[in-house]
Structure 1
Amino acid sequence: MAAKQFDVVVIGAGPGGYVAAIRAGQLGLKVCVVERENLGGICLNWGCIPTKALLRSSEVFHLIERAADFGLKAAKPDYDLGAVVKRSRGVAKQMEGGVKHLLKKNKAEVIMGEATIPAKGKVSVKTDKGTQELTAKHIILATGARARELPGLEADGDLVWTYRHALTPKRMPKKLLVIGSGAIGIEFASFYNTLGADTTVVEVMDRVLPVEDAEISAFAKKQFEKQGMKILEKTTVTKLDRAKGKVTAHLEAGGKTTTQEFDTVISAVGIVGNVEGLGLEDLGVKLDRTHVVTDEFCRTGIEGLFAIGDIAGAPWLAHKASHEGVMVAELIAGGHPHPIKPGSIAGCTYCQPQVASVGMTEAKAKEAGFDVKVGKFPFIGNGKAVALGEPEGLVKTVFDAKTGELLGAHMVGAEVTELIQGYVVGRQLETTEEELMNTVFPHPTLSEMMHESVLAAYGRALHI
């Protein structure tokens, strides 16, 4: 088979790869996407989207349980786990179809198979019909990442699950252990706990959601515990003893080891980049702990080879991958895009209550030498939050006392994953407290708390 020629070959069709291909197609480049599994990648098929569908089911279930709080009557709610999972898979399938349509619309050719890069500008794809050779002046690596597996804690799909097993459970856990309290761990803990699993979360760091502001972590922890979750911080799972229908976890904290029995364990201890089998070492690509080392424009140092998304390192977020995909496509087409500032990328966690943040935590800002002004506003002081029946939450803003620059914003509570974008735009526009104070926020909305938090940093809050 003769080698097919393209301007750009994208390896991986996740939120980084497929977006890079769409943008390259829009810019008139001849594009090919190679994908070994699903269009839309992990995010769309096994991550962001299906987990949100599951969490929506548990959120509705939780609201029905609270019907009396709203003056409503509902019989004792129940759920059909199979139907909940089926809905989640249906949402993912619908989105995958959307990606297929968008790639076709933008004339990006799709080849399903495993790619390797035998030499600069060459891609070899192993398909079920044989091997297809491709040539391209530009290659974009967007192969993503997978769940990290720790020795002795490996998933078996029966008693010990990764996120994939947790998304398509064959049974409802009764007594669940979640190892790791980052976004993935805490979202699954939230989902299963809401549906009635006796849930314990183990975190090796000194607090849950360790990348978040300490005050937000503490607030979230209190809410999780109120919902019946058990949180064990500064604790390591050293060993899992598996037997029929049960797992005995060895938990080490403060030099002492105790054991607890569970019927299900979900391991969510981070990710590793999919760098194997691509031929990167032979090309001379620099790797750092399973991630490709790049410059601010995602260039690998090998002419014409770029790496975007999870494979290119933190933050491991779909929206970062997509934005990098657009940036690289524009660079290849001769444009002059701005590099991405990691400090202006928001992180969102869809547990109950939701958590969202952008920029520096208060501790990081002080560590960086800033003299800070900090504002806080509680949900209980907001009419819309109280009317929604969601009075538990907090908005926190961190400013540079000298310049008024918004250094960071941190939130916990209902719908904060939607609210955070206001502060993201503010940071992108390099706004100061003055512009934010002079912005008129609509009433009654949750967003008014964002205004109040800014006012609070300067001793001007109105509703507390």
Structure 2
Amino acid sequence: MAESATGTEFDILVLGGGSAGYAAALRAVQLGLSVGLIDKGKIGGTCLHNGCIPTKALLHTAEIADGSRESEKYGVKATFDSIDMAAVNKYKDGVIAGKYRGLLGLIKSRGITTIEGSGRLASQSTVDVDGTVYTGKHIILATGSYSRSLPGLEIGGKVMTSDQALTMDYVPKTAIILGGGVIGCEFASVWKSFGVDVTIIEALPSLVPNEDATIVKAFERAFKKRGIAFNTGTRFTSVEQNDDGVVVTLEDGKTFEADIMLVAVGRGPVTSDLGYEEAGLTMDRGYVITDERLHTGVGNIYAVGDIVPGLQLAHRGFQQGIFVAEEIGGLKPIVVQDINIPKVTYSDPEIASVGYTEKAAREKFGDDRVETQEYNLAGNGRSTIIGTGGLVKLVREKDGPIIGMHMLGSRMGEQIGEAQLIVNWEAYPEDVAPLVHAHPTQNEALGEAHLALAGKPLHS
């Protein structure tokens, strides 16, 4: 392992210790490069501390709550009393703490130098951290993202982002969620399971608008069945806070009242006042522009994760961090396009997808060059056992490979591993059809869908 000669000089300086930054650091030291990892907060970033991990812990609690309510239909006599938020938060925070200790131990054992403080790009090869200047032969920018709001919409009191929602010590009776994307739908799912009367406000015509239209329609039906209300296609105008809660007004004059409002309108890049423009980087609406190999075009500076335009996903940042470390190490890694990165909305039901939607495929290849196949989970034994509905949808280039896979149902996110392999390896339905899928599993649904598209359906 290479060693820093002076304590302030490194082969690589990584500015930001979230998923993208720490992944780059871990891979770089494996390649014999010395690394300084700079972060003003806790290593692990948004995903570990106030994003992916705590949200999924709440979703697991929500699943248990629903299971207790529905237990009698499975022959188990149980009663649901209430949600103890103190205990829920203790469980959630315990998960975070355990993962954080493990990550710190890994960082230390690999010989990565952690530098705590506010870092600012000072030149094409230096970063100033609270007055101390560190030098890197290469610099990787990985400063992450923050919870956005809307112009004029102040966060505070009963109007909050996911940051505040994750630390709530009570369960509200009613909630309005501004934004029907992934974050908004996941919180809607949690809160409905906790007994909250939830309404989602989404300016676009549908919830989760980036997903395949067939999946979206089925997802919306499932949310309606759960009693989650949503108002789509009309923009938010204003919110007023009073002693009773919030009053939200839309452009069409409709008003909604609730105890609290969650603002879930996406995340923005953390790049302001960090010296990026002064160093000559090309910026667009706060994002750092790079080439396909994540180089900024300035010196030996790379950018990864949420500050690069595209999907804002922890595993995308993780993959990009590894990619850049290997690029610097001379391994010439393969570029992974955003279209082939898997996505999961961890609500009930879950959405899992990778590749082209049917609409995007038809726009790119033409209507006559696209085939689709749907498999209803009603035909899947394991799905019947656990009590979930949903479907698997395949998108294929005609007489060619699978270019999109889209799934809906409880726990279907666990099937995205095989799906992304199929899409990324450009497998044909005829390649997948002979593969053996264990019975009874939800994984069989992927096999059945490919059998059908290959022209030999069994249960569909």
Sort the TM-score into its range (normalised by shorter chain).
Answer: over 0.9
Cross-structure match for 2:376: 378
* 1:294-351 deviation line (CA, Å, top 9, x unaligned): 1111100111100000011211111110111111111111221111221210000100
Q: Secondary structure at the match of 2:198?
A: strand
Q: Secondary structure at the match of 1:16?
A: helix
1:430 counterpart = 2:426: yes
- Contact 1:327–1:337, Cα closer than 8 Å, also in 2: yes
Displacement, 1:171?
A: 2.4
Displacement, 1:276?
A: 1.1
**1:150-165 correspondence to structure 2 within 5 Å:** 150-156=150-156, 158-165=157-164
Cross-structure match for 2:391: 394
* 1:259-296 deviation line (CA, Å, top 9, x unaligned): 12111000010111000121111111011111100111
Partners of 1:123 and 1:89 lie apart in 2 by 32
Partners of 2:30 and 2:244 lie apart in 1 by 53
Partners of 2:7 and 2:375 lie apart in 1 by 61
**1:58-457 correspondence to structure 2 within 5 Å:** 58-126=62-130, 131-156=131-156, 158-252=157-251, 256-370=252-366, 371-390=369-388, 392-403=389-400, 405-457=401-453
- Contact 1:152–1:240, Cα closer than 8 Å, also in 2: no
Displacement, 1:389?
A: 2.2
Q: Secondary structure at the match of 1:68?
A: helix
- Contact 1:398–1:457, Cα closer than 8 Å, also in 2: no
Partners of 2:436 and 2:169 lie apart in 1 by 50
Aligned-residue RMSD, C-alpha? 1.2
| TM-score normalised to structure 2 length | 0.96
- Contact 1:40–1:99, Cα closer than 8 Å, also in 2: yes
* 1:381-414 deviation line (CA, Å, top 9, x unaligned): 1111111222x111100111132x1010001102
Q: Secondary structure at the match of 1:444?
A: coil
- Contact 2:405–2:423, Cα closer than 8 Å, also in 1: no
Q: What code does the residue aligned with 2:207 have?
A: V
Alignment gaps of 5+ in structure 1? none
- Contact 1:85–1:168, Cα closer than 8 Å, also in 2: yes
Aligned length in residues: 453
Partners of 2:183 and 2:42 lie apart in 1 by 20
Displacement, 1:153?
A: 2.4
Question: Residue 61 and residue 235 in structure 1: after superposition, are their counterparts in 2 closer, same or farther (change >3 A)?
Answer: same
Q: Secondary structure at the match of 1:314?
A: coil
Partners of 2:33 and 2:74 lie apart in 1 by 55
Partners of 1:279 and 1:211 lie apart in 2 by 33
Q: What code does the residue aligned with 2:391 have?
A: L
Displacement, 1:439?
A: 1.2
Q: Secondary structure at the match of 2:437?
A: coil
Displacement, 1:245?
A: 3.4
* 1:149-186 deviation line (CA, Å, top 9, x unaligned): 11232210x20110011101132121100011111110
Cross-structure match for 1:5: 9
Partners of 2:151 and 2:452 lie apart in 1 by 48
Partners of 1:3 and 1:400 lie apart in 2 by 54
- Contact 1:115–1:278, Cα closer than 8 Å, also in 2: yes
- Contact 2:65–2:80, Cα closer than 8 Å, also in 1: no
Cross-structure match for 2:3: none
Displacement, 1:460?
A: 2.9
Q: What code does the residue aligned with 1:456 have?
A: A
Partners of 1:398 and 1:165 lie apart in 2 by 39
Partners of 1:414 and 1:246 lie apart in 2 by 33
Alignment gaps of 5+ in structure 2? 1-5
Q: Secondary structure at the match of 1:280?
A: coil
Partners of 1:245 and 1:313 lie apart in 2 by 40
- Contact 1:375–1:458, Cα closer than 8 Å, also in 2: no
Displacement, 1:458?
A: 4.4
Displacement, 1:459?
A: 4.5
- Contact 1:17–1:33, Cα closer than 8 Å, also in 2: yes
- Contact 1:61–1:77, Cα closer than 8 Å, also in 2: no
* 1:118-174 deviation line (CA, Å, top 9, x unaligned): 111111101xxxx32101110100001101111232210x20110011101132121
- Contact 2:49–2:96, Cα closer than 8 Å, also in 1: yes
* 1:80-117 deviation line (CA, Å, top 9, x unaligned): 01211221111112111111111111111001110011
Mean alpha-carbon deviation: is it higher for 135-144 or for 165-174?
165-174
* 1:178-209 deviation line (CA, Å, top 9, x unaligned): 01111111001110111111100011111101
Displacement, 1:16?
A: 0.3
Partners of 1:457 and 1:372 lie apart in 2 by 12
Question: Residue 58 and residue 257 in structure 1: after superposition, are their counterparts in 2 closer, same or farther (change >3 A)?
Answer: same
